Chain A
Amino acid sequence: MFLGALTFVNGVLTLGVASLVIYLFYLLGVAFVFLYLIKEDRRFADLIVFFTFVATFIAVSVYRLPSQTDEESLILYAAYLFSHGANPYVEDLINAYRMFPIAEPVVTATLSPIYYVNVFGYPALSFEIASVVYPQIATLTTTFLLYLFLRWKNKEKLFFIIMLIIGSFSAFTGASFDIISLAIVIVALTMQGWIRSALMALSGDIKQFALLYLPFIWKDYWGQWKELAKNVTAPLAVFLIPNLPFISLKWAYEVLGPLTQPIANQGISISLLSMVGLPIPNIAYTVAFLTLYTALLILYKPNTRWKWILPAFIWLVSWRDLNYFLFYITVWVSSYELERNGNSDDDYHN
């Protein structure tokens, strides 16, 4: 808890801007983290979050922060195109880096003639959100709404555990929209039936992570055909509605981008074998990824909490993994606290 709260408050530092006022609120946040260590008073948790919010809000609103990742530049530029009536899945996005320059060390290493990633690899809701709310404001607001939601559920400690697992980088900087996807999944865990499935799809409309949960959820409903139909059609509709104006073969190809784009391997998956020189082609990892997912789905025992953690394993054999597995570990840990009938043992029934 202490480490989680400290990680959360230290997220202020990831913004890379400083002023006396920001440091004052940051230090107040740190002070209350230590007080929270001594006495688990709910009001201390509130103050930790309040001071951190004030510090980050000042930082974001006073200083113009440039893009922290190429993902952020691409989303911002896609939002710009969208608000001007253009389709980001058709346009060449290379101007994203002229309009929203980024530091070279965060540039994804491509394996194509193009030095930068110039296609949009996320579903449409990401840039639709960014077209009305600046990413830093969107992620910051979502983070604090997530705290308020968990506090309302009397689970505010879980907020700090989430921050410990997934870190607070994306929560504050707008560098990635993962926190928005995650917050929706956290809310979904407290729901039941087709509403939960629909929220999973809504999360997957921003970043694709939660879509991998849907087949596991469908297996839970196997045999209850009416319920299954609702749990298939509702998320399908929710996923497709924000994407409707853009649906095409190219859209499908780009949204599958994490599997199809020619970009360098990175992270801690077994594709490190290619990095050290073993002649394993990229396609072997993609097939392994799909094979493992299918095998885990077949072996999955319905109506158990395993569904929240199993997709984490497939990233171990993927070509590229930027700690994507942490998303699923966070959801799995949260499920122990948030699922309505899930505090006693691993087997439960919806």
Chain B
Amino acid sequence: MSLKVVIIISIIVLEILTISLLWKPTLPLKVEIVRVYDVGNVGYWNVVCLNVTNYGNSPVYPVFLLNMFGSEKRWVVSSQIVTSPPFNSTLPVIPPHSWRLINISAPSPLYFIPPSTRIYVQVYSGYNFVNSPVYVTPNITRPPIVNPNFSIVYYSGKYNETVPWGWYVELVPGTKLSYNNGVIVNGTAIFYQPVLGNIRNVTVVGYNISYILVDHVLYIYVHNGYVRGIVENEP
């Protein structure tokens, strides 16, 4: 029995080794982390600026994965950021033998990088399933740039039991979100979400808010206030 197990494990290991050596899977890339940003001054890094160099003879259409708490999350390339989720994006392109500076941002307020931790970036070429090696950034303290002159769009977040989730959130630089019996906005934020079903109007419970329902999308503007919940009024 144990001999059979050893034989099977050996076959699997040999197979993986052989394919890895013959396939030459890695992308001819070099990735360096240039800057980290703390947009919204949340105390963590939520935007990373990468310098991606393509040494190869073919263009690369990069998809960026960051190792987050044991699983990989796809971060959003800034040029792909739009005011609705990136349902169908055109990937950025890095031409052969050239380099590009690319900003990637966390896809949700729930994802961020604690300061002074290593960042594990893996790049995939978005059209042919070929991956790069993992680039581990040096474990040095990088001074983050707090509130640079751009805002980021988060595509979701479950904030509170009383607020439905699936919100798109846009933060004005300098804005800080916190969660305590609702979403507390210290600064300015816009939340929006499609409203489904036969809902004609809604009542948003909160402080320093204004809201509007247009074409089945509910927009909530909050300035130094909070959103506690939403009541849907069916006719």
Residues on A lying within 8 angstroms of B by beta carbon are 16-18, 64, 66, 94, 97-99, 101-105, 107, 109-116, 262, 264-266, 274-285, 287-288, 291-292, 295-296, 299, 317
Contacts and interface: CB of A to CB of B under 8 A. Distances in A.
B130 A115 contact: no
A111 B196 CA distance: 30
Given A264-B72, A282-B131, A275 B16 contact: no
Contacts of A116: 85, 87
Interface string B135-172: 01000000000000000001111100100111000000
B56 interface: no
Contact of A277 (B8, B72, B134): B134
Contact of B74 (A264, A277, A291, A296): A264
Contact of A115 (B86, B129, B134, B157): B86
Nearest to A317: B12
Contact of B73 (A94, A109, A280, A292): A109
Contacts of A112: 63, 126-127
Contacts of B166: 66, 101-103
B87 A115 contact: yes
Given A111-B126, A115-B85, A284 B74 contact: no
Given A104-B108, A279-B25, A295-B8, A113 B74 contact: no
Nearest to B110: A105
Contacts of A287: 15, 19
B203 interface: no
Given A111-B63, A279-B25, A104 B88 contact: no
B25 A288 contact: no
Given A275-B67, A282-B129, A97 B11 contact: no
Nearest to B165: A103
Nearest to A101: B166
5 contacts: A94-B88, A103-B165, A109-B65, A109-B74, A295-B11
